[in-house]
Structure 1
Amino acid sequence: MAARCLRIAAVYFVIAIILGIVMGITKAFAYSSVHAHLNLVGWVSLAIIGLIYRAYPQAAKTGLAKWHFWLHNLCLPIMQGCLFVMLFTQMESFVVGTIIGSLGLGVGIILFAWNLCQHVRE
């Protein structure tokens, strides 16, 4: 689980950097919130989560870890993809996908926190 989180974090980092470069070249800074979320929730958060799972392998082996991983990595692209399309097309109907992705991501983070409370001891 630790390695999975670290590898997917690196993918989010690459995507966020490419988006940042494209935004800079085209001066399309309306997408900065997508860029920031991909960096923070994708790259930074998952990298830290991967390191936590590396330090506490008992937490990484749980069903909660698996559920968190899949919710995080299905819902973050949905949330940010819908936000990007909504900003790009000005079609407000994509806000529903943004909300669904946000809620799923939030549930995943709650599962991660619950997992740590149950399996990380001094």
Structure 2
Amino acid sequence: MEIKLNNPHGTVWLRLAAVYFVVGVWLGIYMGASGDRSLYPVHAHLNLLGWVSMALFGILFRKFPAMGASPLARIQFWLYNLGLPLLMLAVAAIHRGYRAMEPVAGVASIVLGIAVLLFALNVFRNAGN
């Protein structure tokens, strides 16, 4: 099987990282301007799990094309990109007083955790190949 050196999967991660970076920064600007810092956990997670983690995924998928070509990458992609927005919405709702969203945050966290485990497995199987 031929593996393309310019892996489009890595590019998708990098583009999504840029979107999360913009959203995270603008949420920070909103919080600073309004004086309402109740969404600080959402801001922090958008920047860490969205911007930083996704950018690192993208860089690694571009550096190690076998990782992006792995079936693990596709599963990780969908789990991560379903879990993260759901988690951010649930955390925002919880910090606005909607405690009923705690189970949603729990499930979304588990989905995100599984995606991270798949990424780690992919690293051990395919990084450096």
Q: SS at the partner of 1:28?
A: coil
What's 1:94 paired with? 101
Residues in 2 aligned to 1:83 and 1:121: alpha-carbon distance in whole angstroms: 37
- Structure 1 length as normaliser, TM-score? 0.96
1:70 to partner: Cα distance:
0.9
- Runs of at least 5 residues in structure 2 that lack an aligned partner in the other structure: 1-8
* Structure 1 segments (4+ residues) deviating >4 Å: none
User: Is structure 2 residue 117 aligned with structure 1 residue 110?
Assistant: yes
Partner AA of 2:72 in structure 1: L
- Structure 2 length as normaliser, TM-score? 0.91
Would you tell me which structure has more helix in proportion to its own residues? 1
User: Is structure 2 residue 27 aligned with structure 1 residue 27?
Assistant: no
Quick one: percent identity of the two aligned structures? 36
- Runs of at least 5 residues in structure 1 that lack an aligned partner in the other structure: none
What's 1:61 paired with? 69
Residues in 2 aligned to 1:34 and 1:27: alpha-carbon distance in whole angstroms: 15
